[in-house]
Amino acid sequence: MLVEAVKDCPRDDWPLITTAKRYWLPELTANADDPDALTLVFLHSTSFHKETWEPSIETLLVLSARSRNKVKIREAWSLDCPNHGEAGHLNEPVLNERAFRNNCAFFSPAGPSHLNKLRSILVRGAHERRDVWPDRERAMIALRRRERTAKWDPRILDLFVKYAVVPHPGSYEKETPYLGVTLACTRDQEAAMYRDADGPTKPVEDLKKVCRAIPVHMILAGVNDFIPARVHAAILDPKYGGVYASVRKVEGVGHLIPQEAPDQLAVIIYEALSGKSSTLAKSKL
């Protein structure tokens, strides 16, 4: 898989650096000028980074290359949230300003009160999580031992340590620097994502509009580890969420589907793009 890194500098109306990566295969270059070929855009969840999609993207591109034009993909793009990953590291001076200590997070069509308990758990977890290690090697050892991260695909764990872990701010001190590493998305920035009062509900109205305009395929976790089952039910209720072209549940996997089952997720996305997905289908590990 070929990769091109792109960085967009701040402008008068946008004070943050934007970072992205473009992915494609040599076999798909024939699709470059094809108006029917797709350009896919991937966005990561809170506390992750753009490269977390790489295993899924590579599998998806390979499936496209093998499909003999059934699903024509030109390229895929993945972007960092401005306070995460490479962007979070580059934007650190600006993000430390008071104006950038709040951001949007997850959503619930059933209203913000349905997520109060979850919000408290996530905020506490963000503030209490370990975020400093002597080096990347010991960060990897710690993450492999942690129950939640031990479930991740090994490639995802490698990518996390490579891109979501950065030099500690103390390493830049001239006098007695601390040469350890820390998280690119700081604990304060992660907690701010969860604290946003309107984040859980505002995106739902846009989701309804998009569902009316284009086919939307919903992929949900089979295990309700963090997102309550009632929130899933509300998302699938046309009265709250929208009418979907297909709904898939990945059995045996929690809410971090891209991290726990990246190849399986790629297959489901491919099937949605090819028209093979059907409503309420289930995918088992």
pLDDT of residue 275: 84
| Residue 187: strand, helix, or coil | helix
Q: How confident is the model at residue 3 (pLDDT cuts 50, 70, 90)?
A: very high
Q: How confident is the model at residue 140 (pLDDT cuts 50, 70, 90)?
A: very high
Bridge pairing between strands 73-79 and 38-43: parallel
**Gap between the Cα atoms of 238 and 252, Å rounded:** 26
CA atoms within 13 A on the CB side of 174: 0
Q: What is the pLDDT of residues 77-91, one digit of tens each?
A: 999 999 999 999 999
Can you give the pTM of this predicted structure? 0.87
Sheet harboring 38-43: ordered strands across?
A: 2-8, 18-24, 73-79, 38-43
**Gap between the Cα atoms of 86 and 3, Å rounded:** 15
pLDDT of residue 1: 95
Q: Of 21, 50, 40, which is closest to residue 217 (Cα–Cα)?
A: 40
Which of 54-58, 103-107, 206-210, 217-221 is the least confident region?
103-107
The sign of the CA dihedral 172, 177, 179, 182 is negative
Average pLDDT over residues 131-138: 96
Q: How confident is the model at residue 280 (pLDDT cuts 50, 70, 90)?
A: very low
Q: What is the pLDDT of residues 172-219, one digit of tens each?
A: 899 999 999 999 998 888 888 888 777 767 788 888 889 989 999 999
**Phi/psi at 41 (nearest 5 deg)?**
-120, 130
Q: Of 135, 162, 157, 134, which is closest to residue 145 (Cα–Cα)?
A: 157
Give ∠ CA 249-254-255 in degrees, rounded to 5: 85
Q: What is the pLDDT of residues 207-247, one digit of tens each?
A: 888 998 999 999 999 998 888 888 888 888 888 778 999 99
Contacts of 218 (CB under 8 A, 6+ apart): 235, 236, 241, 244, 246, 247, 248
For residue 185, count other CB atoms closer than 10 A to its CB. Answer: 26
> Which residues share a beta bridge with 281?
248
Tell me the DSSP string of 117-185.
Answer: HHHHHHHHHHHHS--EESSHHHHHHHHHHSHHHHTS-HHHHHHHHHHTEEE-GGGG-SSS----EEESS
